[in-house]
């Protein structure tokens, strides 16, 4: 049974918490924030608290979502993983202990991911029920009917009967058939963002009822948009996925590569860890799930090793003092003539820009 909607006094706090994890962001990863209930990490000495999601590589560390389902904390991201590479990365990750794979219709590689999963199942490496598979509804499939069609395409490509988690990728409706490159006439402005989100979320709720997605949530939503959803949502989103935990060098005016920052190097030396592991551990201890993406075997292994150490309160405090910015501003959805969003502040409702 799904948990009830949070009360209005708690809603803003909850909705705002869904946007944490935007500080330490990366082109190779995503972060999950969510309305979780509890955390169970089976190793001693690791932090426990509401909203932490991490996996030590063998599904021994999970977050319990608001519908009671347990999700592995660390997952493998598959965005920008090239054809011919992503399948091998998924295969190596699962054999190495990953139990959470993050996909999306618009990544255009779900067929190869599906082939890799089927190979793992047939060889007895894992069973379907051992894995947590996430995918995302693309922007040109919003509305009351299209989400079902998008989901069926994803399930066909992944060669699965159900998803563990299905997310609305962006609160940006596009006309049918549009992905990239962006063009002014691609935006669907036949209804307001509120109306579009309501219709789409109600379809997502029906998908959850069907069992083809065990949990549902959103991605790249502002706290304000989450608050608006609570006016009609029967199912509270289980997660809000945000971008990302390893920094995005060269975008949004970022002046320094996060993983080259002297503070992360210093803290990493203290624990015998890499800057990436420090960044990921910070995300976990801040109450987020992390989805680092890499196609290099050594980095895939390294990214999983964040559940066997904890950062001190002092180190956490120092990391939180780093300059904060939104690494993915979504300016590609901004268009004076075609889009609802005339500036980035409109997309994020003025939050963190």
Q: Which residues are catalytic?
A: 107
Give the distance from CA 205 to its chain's centroid.
19
Contact 245, 29 (CB under 8 A): yes
44: burial class by Cβ within 10 Å (0-12, 13-18, 19+)? Answer: exposed
Token look-up 């904890």 returns 310
Residue 38 backbone dihedrals phi, psi, to 5 degrees: -160, 170
Contact 154, 162 (CB under 8 A): no
> How many Cβ atoms sit within 10 Å of the Cβ of residue 234?
12
Beta strands in the chain (DSSP E): 29-34, 38-41, 61-64, 70-72, 76-77, 100-102, 132-137, 165-168, 216-219, 239-242, 289-292
Query: What token pair was written down for 72?
Result: 């592995």
End-to-end CA gap in the chain:
37
β-strands 61-64, 70-72: how paired?
Answer: antiparallel
Cα distances from 318 to residues 164, 203, 262, in angstroms, run: 36, 43, 12
């Amino acid at each position: 049974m799904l948990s009830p909607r949070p009360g209005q006094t708690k809603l803003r706090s909850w909705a705002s918490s869904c946007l944490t994890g935007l500080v330490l962001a990366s082109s190779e990863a995503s972060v999950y924030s969510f309305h979780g209930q509890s955390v169970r990490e089976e190793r001693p000495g690791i932090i426990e608290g509401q909203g932490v999601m991490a996996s030590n590589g063998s599904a021994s560390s999970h977050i319990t979502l608001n519908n009671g389902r347990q999700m592995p904390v660390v997952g493998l991201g598959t965005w920008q993983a090239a054809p011919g590479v992503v399948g091998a990365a998924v295969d190596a990750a699962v054999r190495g202990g990953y139990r959470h794979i993050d996909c999306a219709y618009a990544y255009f590689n779900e067929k190869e991911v599906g082939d890799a999963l089927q190979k793992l199942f047939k060889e007895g490496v894992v069973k379907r029920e051992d894995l947590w598979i996430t995918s995302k509804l693309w922007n040109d499939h919003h509305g009351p009917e299209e989400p079902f069609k998008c989901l069926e395409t994803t399930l066909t490509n992944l060669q699965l009967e159900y998803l563990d988690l299905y997310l609305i990728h962006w609160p940006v409706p596009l006309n049918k058939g549009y992905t990239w490159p962006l063009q002014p006439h691609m935006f669907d402005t036949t209804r307001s963002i509120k109306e579009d989100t309501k219709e789409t979320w109600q379809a997502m709720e029906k998908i959850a009822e069907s069992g083809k997605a065990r949990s549902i949530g959103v991605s790249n939503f502002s706290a304000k948009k989450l608050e608006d959803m609570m006016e009609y949502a029967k199912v509270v989103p289980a997660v809000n996925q945000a971008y990302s935990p390893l920094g995005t060098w060269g975008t949004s005016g970022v002046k320094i590569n996060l993983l080259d920052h002297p503070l992360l190097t210093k803290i990493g030396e203290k624990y015998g860890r890499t800057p990436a592991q420090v960044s990921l551990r910070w995300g976990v201890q801040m109450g987020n799930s992390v989805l680092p993406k890499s196609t290099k075997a050594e980095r895939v292994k390294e990214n999983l090793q964040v559940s066997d150490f904890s950062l001190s309160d002092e180190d956490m405090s120092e990391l939180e003092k780093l300059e904060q910015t939104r690494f993915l501003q979504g300016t590609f959805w901004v268009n004076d003539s075609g889009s609802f969003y005339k500036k980035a502040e409109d997309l994020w409702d003025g939050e963190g820009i």
